[in-house]
Each structure stands twice: as C-alpha cells, then as structure tokens.
C-alpha cells in the first residue's frame, strides 16, 4: 500500500492505494495521466484509472505527513507555471515512522531514473491493413 498526496498552489488531496505495491507502478500510472494544474482533477483522474483496474482507493488526509502504518508516501507537486512538469517526492518510513525523503525529481526525470518505458510504448495503435478485395 502507498499513500499519494497531490498538491497545487491552493489545495492538497490524498489517497491510500491498497493494491499498488511499489513506487514504480504508481509513477507509471501518474505518468500516463493527462497533465492538469489542479490537485483535485489530477487525483480524480488517477482514482478513475485505479477503479477501472479494480484497485481500492481510500481517501487520505494530505496534511498528515507521518504514517503509523509505515507506508511509503509519494507527493506530487503541481507547478502552475509549468503544468507539464510536476515534481515528485518519494518518502519511506524512518525507524521512528517519520517520513524520510528518498528521491525527488520531476515526474519525467523520476520515470527516467526508474527506467520506466515511455507512456505510449507498446500501446500505439497497430497500422490498419487493407483487406484483400473480394472476388465477385
């Protein structure tokens, strides 16, 4: 389980994602989303993707940084001046439960560091082939 917190300049929103086991999986899902400048719209898009996959999403308080369940926390910061480049912070629980930052980079930079394939890799539509003409 991971905790996701998305922040923009005025708002924050959070979710616990039960079936997401690792950060790579979540970063891949975030990378596939359409870029929007609003934390609530971004979270809504991710929640829809998760529900379509059959994953459980649980609302989380975005203001609580510590996690008694010792889950990893992924924070996404949306920059209104550069909506195409959100920044991501990945925190893991320390020995006392206090989150310790492990990685911090732009979404694209982090995806590159985690060696995730491009979003459209393998999902591009196949070329349409013409069917042979039928004999009369």
Residue 125's Cβ-count burial label (10 Å; 0-12, 13-18, 19+) is exposed
Query: Is 92 within a domain?
Result: yes
Res. 134: pLDDT tops 80: no
Query: Is 136 within a domain?
Result: no
Query: Is 130 within a domain?
Result: no
Query: Is 133 within a domain?
Result: no
Between CA 106 and CA 84 the distance in angstroms is 10
Q: Is the separation of the CB atoms in 49 and 32 below 8 Å?
A: yes
- Into how many domains does the chain fold? 1
71-117 pLDDT tens trace: 889 999 987 676 556 889 888 888 887 888 888 888 888 888 877 76
Query: Is 29 within a domain?
Result: yes
Between CA 95 and CA 103 the distance in angstroms is 18
Between CA 19 and CA 131 the distance in angstroms is 43
**Full residue range of the structural domain in which residue 109 is found:** 2-113
Strands (E), the chain: 2-7, 12-17, 57-60, 72-77, 87-93, 99-106
Query: Is 105 within a domain?
Result: yes
Closest CA to 110 of 76, 72, 71: 76
44-67 pLDDT tens trace: 999 999 999 888 999 988 877 666
Query: Is 122 within a domain?
Result: no
Query: Is 14 within a domain?
Result: yes
């Amino acid at each position: 389980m991971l905790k996701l917190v998305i922040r923009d300049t005025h708002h924050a929103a959070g979710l616990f994602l039960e079936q997401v086991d690792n950060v790579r999986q979540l970063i891949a899902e975030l990378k596939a989303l359409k870029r929007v400048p609003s934390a609530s719209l971004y979270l809504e898009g991710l929640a829809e993707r998760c529900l379509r996959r059959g994953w459980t999403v649980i609302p989380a308080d975005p203001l609580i940084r510590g996690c008694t369940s010792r889950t990893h926390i992924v924070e996404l910061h949306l920059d209104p001046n550069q909506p195409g480049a959100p920044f991501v912070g990945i925190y893991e629980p320390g020995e006392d439960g206090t989150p310790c930052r492990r990685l911090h980079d732009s979404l694209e930079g982090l995806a590159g560091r985690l060696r995730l394939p491009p979003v459209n890799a393998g999902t591009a539509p196949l070329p349409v082939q013409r069917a042979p003409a039928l004999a009369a």
